[in-house]
Amino acid sequence: MTNNAWNTAFSTANGQLLIGDTGNNPVWSTLTEGAAVTITEGAGSIEIDFDSAGGACEFIASATASGSASITFTDLSSSYSSYIVEMQGVQPATDGVQLWLRTSTDNGSNYDDGGSDYIWSMWTVHDGGSDGEGDTSDSKIILLGTPGEELGTASGETSSGTLRIFDPSSSNYTRFCFNGSFTEDSSYHASMHEAGMRLSTTAVDAIEFSMSAGNIATGNFKLYGFKA
Protein backbone atom coordinates (compact mmCIF):
# COMPACT_ATOMS: atom_id res chain seq x y z
CA MET A 1 0.00 0.00 0.00
CA THR A 2 1.13 3.58 -0.58
CA ASN A 3 -1.76 5.57 0.97
CA ASN A 4 -1.22 4.42 4.55
CA ALA A 5 2.52 3.72 4.53
CA TRP A 6 2.51 -0.07 4.46
CA ASN A 7 5.82 0.13 2.66
CA THR A 8 7.82 -0.55 5.84
CA ALA A 9 9.71 -3.85 5.51
CA PHE A 10 8.15 -6.76 7.36
CA SER A 11 7.83 -10.51 7.07
CA THR A 12 5.36 -13.12 8.28
CA ALA A 13 5.19 -16.89 8.29
CA ASN A 14 2.55 -19.50 7.53
CA GLY A 15 -0.17 -19.55 10.18
CA GLN A 16 0.12 -15.80 10.98
CA LEU A 17 -2.50 -13.06 10.60
CA LEU A 18 -1.49 -9.55 9.48
CA ILE A 19 -3.46 -6.43 10.54
CA GLY A 20 -2.79 -2.71 9.97
CA ASP A 21 -4.58 0.65 10.25
CA THR A 22 -4.21 4.26 9.08
CA GLY A 23 -0.73 5.66 9.62
CA ASN A 24 0.61 2.69 11.56
CA ASN A 25 2.87 -0.17 10.64
CA PRO A 26 1.17 -3.57 10.35
CA VAL A 27 1.24 -6.07 13.20
CA TRP A 28 0.79 -9.80 13.13
CA SER A 29 0.32 -12.75 15.45
CA THR A 30 0.56 -16.51 15.14
CA LEU A 31 -2.72 -18.44 15.27
CA THR A 32 -2.64 -21.61 17.36
CA GLU A 33 -5.32 -24.30 17.12
CA GLY A 34 -7.45 -24.50 20.24
CA ALA A 35 -6.36 -21.09 21.58
CA ALA A 36 -7.56 -17.47 21.48
CA VAL A 37 -5.21 -14.64 20.44
CA THR A 38 -5.69 -10.87 20.85
CA ILE A 39 -4.03 -8.54 18.32
CA THR A 40 -3.78 -4.85 19.30
CA GLU A 41 -3.12 -2.05 16.82
CA GLY A 42 -3.37 1.54 17.90
CA ALA A 43 -6.42 2.10 20.08
CA GLY A 44 -8.24 -0.97 18.81
CA SER A 45 -7.86 -4.73 19.12
CA ILE A 46 -9.32 -7.91 17.73
CA GLU A 47 -9.64 -11.31 19.41
CA ILE A 48 -9.65 -14.48 17.35
CA ASP A 49 -10.50 -17.90 18.75
CA PHE A 50 -9.01 -20.44 16.35
CA ASP A 51 -10.29 -23.98 16.78
CA SER A 52 -11.45 -26.85 14.61
CA ALA A 53 -15.19 -27.09 14.21
CA GLY A 54 -16.98 -29.73 16.26
CA GLY A 55 -17.57 -32.89 14.27
CA ALA A 56 -14.61 -32.32 11.96
CA CYS A 57 -12.63 -35.45 11.11
CA GLU A 58 -8.87 -35.21 11.64
CA PHE A 59 -6.03 -37.57 10.83
CA ILE A 60 -4.16 -38.45 14.06
CA ALA A 61 -1.62 -41.22 13.52
CA SER A 62 -0.63 -44.20 11.40
CA ALA A 63 1.20 -47.47 12.02
CA THR A 64 2.55 -50.12 9.64
CA ALA A 65 2.86 -53.75 10.69
CA SER A 66 5.92 -55.74 9.68
CA GLY A 67 6.14 -58.93 11.67
CA SER A 68 4.66 -56.99 14.61
CA ALA A 69 3.34 -58.59 17.77
CA SER A 70 0.65 -55.88 17.91
CA ILE A 71 -0.37 -52.48 16.61
CA THR A 72 -1.44 -49.94 19.24
CA PHE A 73 -2.85 -46.42 19.39
CA THR A 74 -2.60 -44.51 22.67
CA ASP A 75 -3.67 -41.08 24.00
CA LEU A 76 -7.34 -41.37 23.02
CA SER A 77 -8.93 -38.36 24.70
CA SER A 78 -12.13 -36.37 25.17
CA SER A 79 -10.94 -33.97 22.44
CA TYR A 80 -12.62 -36.42 20.06
CA SER A 81 -16.14 -37.80 20.45
CA SER A 82 -15.39 -40.87 18.33
CA TYR A 83 -12.59 -42.44 16.32
CA ILE A 84 -12.11 -44.41 13.11
CA VAL A 85 -9.33 -46.86 12.32
CA GLU A 86 -8.83 -47.70 8.65
CA MET A 87 -6.84 -50.88 8.05
CA GLN A 88 -5.55 -52.17 4.71
CA GLY A 89 -3.54 -55.16 3.56
CA VAL A 90 -3.61 -56.89 6.94
CA GLN A 91 -2.19 -60.43 6.91
CA PRO A 92 -1.03 -62.73 9.72
CA ALA A 93 2.35 -64.42 9.94
CA THR A 94 0.62 -67.62 11.10
CA ASP A 95 -2.06 -69.44 9.11
CA GLY A 96 -5.55 -69.97 10.53
CA VAL A 97 -5.80 -67.12 13.06
CA GLN A 98 -8.10 -64.23 13.97
CA LEU A 99 -7.56 -60.48 14.35
CA TRP A 100 -8.37 -59.35 17.90
CA LEU A 101 -9.09 -55.99 19.51
CA ARG A 102 -8.43 -55.10 23.15
CA THR A 103 -8.66 -51.84 25.10
CA SER A 104 -6.66 -50.09 27.82
CA THR A 105 -7.63 -47.70 30.61
CA ASP A 106 -4.04 -46.77 31.57
CA ASN A 107 -2.87 -45.51 28.16
CA GLY A 108 -1.38 -48.80 27.03
CA SER A 109 0.52 -49.93 30.11
CA ASN A 110 -1.92 -52.85 30.27
CA TYR A 111 -4.61 -54.12 27.91
CA ASP A 112 -7.83 -55.58 29.32
CA ASP A 113 -7.88 -59.35 28.80
CA GLY A 114 -10.16 -60.65 31.55
CA GLY A 115 -12.55 -63.44 30.69
CA SER A 116 -15.63 -61.21 30.95
CA ASP A 117 -14.27 -57.88 29.70
CA TYR A 118 -16.06 -57.75 26.33
CA ILE A 119 -19.23 -58.66 24.47
CA TRP A 120 -19.37 -58.98 20.68
CA SER A 121 -21.46 -60.36 17.82
CA MET A 122 -20.75 -60.68 14.10
CA TRP A 123 -22.29 -61.74 10.82
CA THR A 124 -20.07 -63.24 8.11
CA VAL A 125 -21.07 -63.72 4.47
CA HIS A 126 -18.78 -65.74 2.19
CA ASP A 127 -18.74 -67.84 -0.98
CA GLY A 128 -19.93 -70.91 0.91
CA GLY A 129 -22.86 -69.22 2.71
CA SER A 130 -23.27 -67.12 5.83
CA ASP A 131 -23.27 -67.52 9.59
CA GLY A 132 -23.32 -65.59 12.84
CA GLU A 133 -21.06 -65.76 15.88
CA GLY A 134 -20.95 -64.00 19.23
CA ASP A 135 -19.89 -64.07 22.85
CA THR A 136 -21.43 -62.31 25.85
CA SER A 137 -18.35 -62.70 28.05
CA ASP A 138 -14.96 -62.72 26.35
CA SER A 139 -11.36 -61.64 26.86
CA LYS A 140 -11.21 -59.84 23.48
CA ILE A 141 -13.33 -58.65 20.56
CA ILE A 142 -12.84 -60.69 17.38
CA LEU A 143 -12.72 -58.36 14.38
CA LEU A 144 -11.82 -60.76 11.56
CA GLY A 145 -11.97 -64.54 11.38
CA THR A 146 -14.04 -67.09 13.26
CA PRO A 147 -13.55 -70.85 13.81
CA GLY A 148 -13.48 -72.41 10.34
CA GLU A 149 -13.12 -69.01 8.64
CA GLU A 150 -9.73 -67.77 9.78
CA LEU A 151 -7.18 -65.46 8.19
CA GLY A 152 -4.57 -67.02 5.91
CA THR A 153 -0.97 -66.48 4.87
CA ALA A 154 -1.16 -67.40 1.18
CA SER A 155 -0.70 -64.79 -1.52
CA GLY A 156 -3.79 -62.57 -1.73
CA GLU A 157 -5.22 -63.71 1.62
CA THR A 158 -5.26 -60.21 3.07
CA SER A 159 -7.95 -58.22 4.83
CA SER A 160 -9.12 -54.60 5.04
CA GLY A 161 -11.76 -52.85 7.07
CA THR A 162 -13.01 -49.89 9.07
CA LEU A 163 -13.43 -49.81 12.84
CA ARG A 164 -15.57 -47.10 14.50
CA ILE A 165 -15.01 -46.37 18.21
CA PHE A 166 -17.81 -44.49 19.95
CA ASP A 167 -17.32 -42.07 22.86
CA PRO A 168 -14.38 -43.85 24.58
CA SER A 169 -13.79 -41.02 27.08
CA SER A 170 -17.30 -41.00 28.54
CA SER A 171 -18.63 -42.84 31.59
CA ASN A 172 -20.66 -45.12 29.32
CA TYR A 173 -19.59 -48.45 27.85
CA THR A 174 -17.28 -47.92 24.88
CA ARG A 175 -18.88 -49.41 21.76
CA PHE A 176 -17.30 -50.60 18.53
CA CYS A 177 -18.59 -51.30 15.02
CA PHE A 178 -16.49 -52.99 12.33
CA ASN A 179 -17.00 -53.68 8.63
CA GLY A 180 -14.35 -55.69 6.84
CA SER A 181 -13.45 -57.80 3.85
CA PHE A 182 -10.98 -60.68 3.73
CA THR A 183 -9.98 -63.86 1.93
CA GLU A 184 -9.86 -66.67 4.45
CA ASP A 185 -7.43 -69.57 4.68
CA SER A 186 -9.81 -71.84 2.75
CA SER A 187 -9.74 -69.32 -0.14
CA TYR A 188 -13.31 -68.09 0.41
CA HIS A 189 -13.87 -64.38 0.02
CA ALA A 190 -15.80 -63.06 3.02
CA SER A 191 -17.31 -59.87 4.35
CA MET A 192 -17.74 -59.36 8.08
CA HIS A 193 -20.01 -57.02 10.03
CA GLU A 194 -19.39 -56.87 13.74
CA ALA A 195 -20.39 -54.93 16.87
CA GLY A 196 -18.76 -55.12 20.28
CA MET A 197 -18.54 -53.38 23.63
CA ARG A 198 -16.11 -53.01 26.54
CA LEU A 199 -18.02 -54.07 29.65
CA SER A 200 -16.75 -51.26 31.88
CA THR A 201 -17.62 -47.58 32.30
CA THR A 202 -13.95 -46.63 32.79
CA ALA A 203 -12.72 -44.38 29.98
CA VAL A 204 -10.78 -46.16 27.22
CA ASP A 205 -7.59 -44.30 26.24
CA ALA A 206 -5.72 -46.88 24.11
CA ILE A 207 -6.49 -49.81 21.78
CA GLU A 208 -4.49 -52.82 20.61
CA PHE A 209 -4.76 -54.99 17.50
CA SER A 210 -3.16 -58.45 17.59
CA MET A 211 -3.53 -61.91 16.08
CA SER A 212 -4.85 -64.82 18.12
CA ALA A 213 -1.46 -66.47 17.52
CA GLY A 214 1.77 -65.21 15.98
CA ASN A 215 2.51 -61.75 14.59
CA ILE A 216 0.90 -59.33 12.16
CA ALA A 217 3.00 -59.84 9.03
CA THR A 218 1.75 -56.82 7.09
CA GLY A 219 -0.88 -54.11 7.36
CA ASN A 220 -1.40 -50.36 7.34
CA PHE A 221 -3.45 -48.81 10.17
CA LYS A 222 -4.59 -45.17 10.25
CA LEU A 223 -6.37 -43.45 13.15
CA TYR A 224 -8.80 -40.55 12.66
CA GLY A 225 -10.77 -38.61 15.25
CA PHE A 226 -14.04 -36.66 15.12
CA LYS A 227 -13.76 -33.41 17.10
CA ALA A 228 -16.02 -33.23 20.15
Q: What is the pLDDT of residues 82-117, one digit of tens each?
A: 999 999 999 999 999 999 999 999 999 999 999 999
pLDDT tens-digit map of 59-74: 999 999 999 999 999 9
Could you tell me if 163 and 85 are in contact, meaning their C-beta atoms sit under 8 angstroms apart? yes
Average pLDDT, the chain: 85
pLDDT of residue 177: 97
Domain ranges across the chain: 1-51, 57-227
Q: How far apart are CA 122 and CA 145, in angstroms?
A: 10
pLDDT > 90 in the chain, percent: 61
**Per residue in 14-38, pLDDT tens?**
556 555 555 555 665 666 655 566 6
Residue of higher predicted confidence among 179 and 13: 179
| pLDDT for residue 30 | 65
Number of H helices and number of E strands within the chain?
0, 16
Predicted structure pTM score:
0.77
Q: Mind listing the pLDDT tens digit for each residue in 120-133?
A: 999 988 777 788 89
User: What is the fold of 57-227?
Assistant: Jelly Rolls (2.60.120)
Strands 71-73 and 57-68: unpaired
**Residues 45 and 29 sit within 8 Å (Cβ to Cβ):** no
pLDDT at 32: 61
